[in-house]
Structure 1
Amino acid sequence: MASFILWLHGSGDSGPANESIKEHFTDPVFKNTKWGLPTAPSRPITINRGAVMPAWFDVTDVPITSQSVRHEDEVLKAVKDVHSMIDKQIANGISPTNVFVCGFSQGGALAVASILLYPKTLGGGVIFSGFIPLNPSIKEQVLPEATKTPILWLHGTDDKIVLFEAGESGSKFLQGLGMNCEFKAYPGFGHSLMDEELEYFSSWLRSRLLSSGGVQQRRGCCSQM
């Protein structure tokens, strides 16, 4: 059964620069997986003295904490673009339960915002060193279908860009909505993607696909998967 992984990069990065992430997805269950690695529009970033770079929304303070300013209007605009990407894949025949929205740092923040505001239950979301980029009042707009989407949140304890407490706070916010959010701390890790995290990412997605209806049936006749 086909699946789709949408990967959202951090600020100043690009989609093509993250192609190597695919190298962690060699299991046969990912044989029919499509990837989306879009690049954010270029914009001036306040924290970088107005320098123009790819970013999903502006950043005005670093480190990012659970109390940092939320540029909600810009985030919501980016969420609409992500929803369009998801809608296109579903229209092409991929089941929502086989759609995964993932990202690092600012991309992780956009991923979780997009999942919270999507009107359907998705296969899952994986957040690396992210944060909740919306104000707490957003919970009033979260539909029951969205709260059924499982989340994996990975965060290094020595992250100096998006503080560990911002990740913990974000995870607790999701759990407060009744969501299944696994929070995995990595002692000593900073603000970067590490192989250990990416391997767990791959394993987690694999288990989600194997637990979905269509792939589970295949598992019964192909135990090596």
Structure 2
Amino acid sequence: METSQARFPDLHIVEPKGQHTHTAILLHGRGGHGPDFAKDLLTSTTSQGLDLASHFPTWRWVFPSAAVRWSVAFQVNLPAWFDVYTLADTNKRQDLQIQGLKESSLHVLDVLEHEISLLGGQSEKVILGGLSQGMSAALWTLLCSPGRVKGRLGAFIGCCGYLPFTQHIETAIQDYRSKYASESTTPKCVTISAFLHGVLGCPPIESKPEEVEAVLSTPVLLLHGIDDGIVKISLGRQACQLLREIGMEVLMREYFGAPNMGHWIQEPEGFDEIVTFLKSKIS
């Protein structure tokens, strides 16, 4: 991949209260900013009355901010990881998504590599995730990370989001089944990961199959409001299904009654789920 040309604001970082043992990299939704997302997320609490930073006091919390982009649908500049024409049909005008996804993935990969290096190369000590469009960009980054990330991440947390280019991914899965169904020499996750690079016009990945399998063995937790009025629950369920089709381990939790038209993490239930999941997957 070539270097990203978009201008991304400085990272918002909440340092650990003690020795740095883990890092969480979390992406905001369309129209948001890293500092605002950090404030909203880290002031929400679990049923124990504790925020995430209190549950994980030795973690470093990194909140990137998206570049400002022109929205074709809204005819305005706004912070966005990529442009999207309509959430009613995320496959419509997919050409608008390519440049932003490419630039944002490269930016988040730079952040991811830096945080892994701070932890001595222990990729399993780093989690990646996001809310809404931030989940979409973070998920795409994860799927395209083999070749730059050598091992699995500790976990992926996605909230109220979706998976871009679902039709392309479904086609890639079907092509794999027709070409390699009777063979074991070409792992499905390797085929899909290489295909996604091609969607963005990136060169083929230069990584070993076992490295791709390691990255895509990252455990995934998806949270989504059944009553989400911005990103329909059907899109979250579709993302869950496709990730499982690729061969990833995915746990999905649905809830009702969250703020912002259901487009947020239910408090405290959703935060309880996040804490329980992270403690079960990360040492």
TM-score (norm 1): 0.84
Structure with larger Rg: 2
Cα RMSD (Å) of the superposition? 2.0
Q: Which amino acid aligns with 2:214?
A: E
Matched, 1:3 2:3: no
Q: 1:104 to 1:41 in 2, by over 3 A?
A: same
* Helix, strand or coil at the partner of 1:57: coil
- Deviation for aligned residue 1:45: 1.4
Match of 2:192 among 139, 143, 165: 139
- Deviation for aligned residue 1:63: 3.0
Q: 1:68 to 1:156 in 2, by over 3 A?
A: farther
Matched, 1:194 2:194: no
TM-score (norm 2): 0.67
Any unmatched runs of 5+ in structure 1?
213-225
How do 1:143-182 residues align onto structure 2 when only pairs under 5 Å count?
143-182=212-251
Matched, 1:33 2:59: yes
User: C-alpha deviations, 1:38-86, integer Å up to 9, x for none?
Assistant: 11111111222x2111111012113355x45432332122111111001
What percent identity do the matched residue pairs reach? 26
Residues in 1 aligned to 2:152 and 2:93: alpha-carbon distance in whole angstroms = 29
The corresponding residue for 1:51 is 76
Matched, 1:18 2:37: yes
Q: 1:46 to 1:205 in 2, by over 3 A?
A: same
The corresponding residue for 1:221 is none
Residues in 1 aligned to 2:32 and 2:100: alpha-carbon distance in whole angstroms = 18
Match of 2:106 among 72, 80, 84: 80
Contact conserved, 2:256 with 2:266, CA < 8 A, in 1?
no
Q: 1:10 to 1:64 in 2, by over 3 A?
A: farther
Q: Which amino acid aligns with 1:187?
A: F
Residues in 1 aligned to 2:137 and 2:99: alpha-carbon distance in whole angstroms = 12
Moved over 6 A (4+): none
User: C-alpha deviations, 1:169-208, integer Å up to 9, x for none?
Assistant: 1100000111100011113542223323233223322222
User: C-alpha deviations, 1:74-124, integer Å up to 9, x for none?
Assistant: 212211111100100112225200111111000010111111111231111
Q: Which amino acid aligns with 1:22?
A: L
